[in-house]
Chain A
């Protein structure tokens, strides 16, 4: 694993441990995607997080907030030290991200099924304004149970929002409730351009997220592993919403390699 990425995972895990709270495994599921997004794809400037010409990123699965906080801190939107305040009463960094508190957070999410339609609205607004900025959002596979995801899929295709890319973090954590079946076929039938990738392969992530230039919205089905990079957490439902106890921390950190 990339040294910086490995280090970031350790800082995220430590922050959750200090807070006694956090969806670490959900954050690890998307951390490679976020890493590539902010390193190679999204036009952004931490010094002017609201610059009109920025690309927009919406974390629709807001419970993976530790992932986006870690990346934003790593990119310089706020000090990495602040990660240790995660979920404290007066912290800017809550269990779900708040767009009015955290620089770089475009939408307050947490309730599933809200972020993607907000991203569609942003993309529509940018299209009306004839802006060249893009909108990229990440939804979870469990979140794809929500009707509003499919309402959004219809709207984005109908309004030809080629400036919108949706990434599905397909770690199969939703399978225990509803099997999604052939997600690529579903999106394709809704009129989307579909790419399917290994969500931990940086080269595949980057290629799939390059601008298409067309008028068709793109979905990237990212096959991921929940808790990726930490053996005990990988695909272990017990770690969905759990923080290591102080006495467990060292052993958990040692597993992140």
Chain B
């Protein structure tokens, strides 16, 4: 997904003179051609996230489309107030592209984990949130949201689904329509949800845009209201969006995602998947629970 990020942004740099890329001293080698071809608009800004976000807002004030790229905890958590006030409150357009969400950088420990980024970004009115599950989905969603003039957060993942979906910004995809429980999932978790649902007559709804949240598709496919949300970030992050979309309807709602505790083990992301109970087998058990509700 990171390779696609560079390819997409290089293309946008060629096409749109308003784009200014600010790298938080990461991805510098990957963007080497962009540095060469657009030396004024591709900047290794350094490791100072607070000023960078405000500086990006200043660029947006001047009519540019800033894009700030760094690791999730530093983009979102370190500079959250700057994003809230300078972009959210002032209603300025710009893109925040993170890597290392949740425990993608498992071995680096808790300082580099960030399962809370989506929940924080949801708290900023007007913030658009995109979690692609495949490089081609990142490309499509970046292109669709690029010039909208809205603050937009893109969460790149280290892991991708095998196949890209035909995603549309702001819309959920119906992957599978069944008569049983409804499983909502997001970005890189689609493949494991499909695997977990094999042989079960479930509906699978796939979200890559989390804000604005597509309530319409959920309402149209909520069935009898037995709903499981499988989230690649803190469990329950989308609970308010889902329950609000289905207000007035009787539902049996449950969710699973990264548990709300510090993950003090290291290893690979797959180790954390197992430790967090987020393997396909774990998901299948939770779907099966809903069969008897």
Contact = CB atoms under 8 A, between A and B. Distances in A.
B61 A108 contact: no
B51 A152 contact: yes
A26 B41 CA distance: 38
Contacts of A155: 45-46, 48, 51, 55
Q: Which bucket holds chain B's interface residue count?
A: 20 to 34
Contacts of B63: 125
B48 A122 contact: no
A48 B286 CA distance: 61
B55 A118 contact: yes
A145 interface: no
Given A108-B85, A111-B81, A114-B82, A147 B62 contact: no
Contact of B50 (A99, A100, A151): A151
Interface string A123-135: 1111011000000
A108 B90 contact: yes
A180 B53 CA distance: 25
A169 interface: no
Interface-centre pick from B60, B61, B82 (highest chain A CB count, 10 A): B61
Interface residues of A, number: 30
Contacts of A111: 81, 85
Task: Point out which of A119, A121, A147 has the most chain B C-beta atoms below 10 A from its C-beta.
Answer: A121
B124 interface: no
Contact of A114 (B41, B45, B62, B85): B85
B58 A119 contact: yes
B62 A122 contact: yes
B220 to A, nearest CB: 36
B241 interface: no
A114 B55 contact: no
B1 interface: no
B58 A124 contact: yes
B156 interface: no
A75 B81 CA distance: 33
A148 interface: yes
A107 B58 CA distance: 8
B82 to A, nearest CB: 6
Given A120-B55, A151-B48, A151-B50, A125 B89 contact: no
B62 A129 contact: yes
A126 B64 CA distance: 10
A152 B81 contact: no
A121 B57 contact: yes
Contacts of B50: 113, 117, 147-148, 151
A154 interface: yes
A32 interface: no
Contacts of A151: 48, 50-52
A99 B55 contact: no
A121 B82 contact: no
A118 B61 CA distance: 9
Contacts of A123: 58
Interface in B177-212: none
Contacts of B86: 108, 114, 118
B13 interface: no
A50 to B, nearest CB: 10
A143 interface: no
B90 A100 contact: yes
A155 B63 CA distance: 20
A121 B91 contact: no
The 7 closest A-B pairs by CB, nearest first: A121-B58, A125-B62, A117-B54, A151-B51, A121-B55, A151-B48, A117-B51
Interface of B: 20, 40-41, 45-46, 48, 50-64, 66, 81-82, 85-86, 89-91
Given A100-B91, A121-B56, 17 more contacts: A99-B61, A113-B54, A114-B82, A117-B58, A122-B58, A122-B59, A122-B61, A122-B62, A125-B61, A125-B62, A125-B63, A126-B62, A128-B20, A147-B50, A148-B54, A152-B51, A152-B54
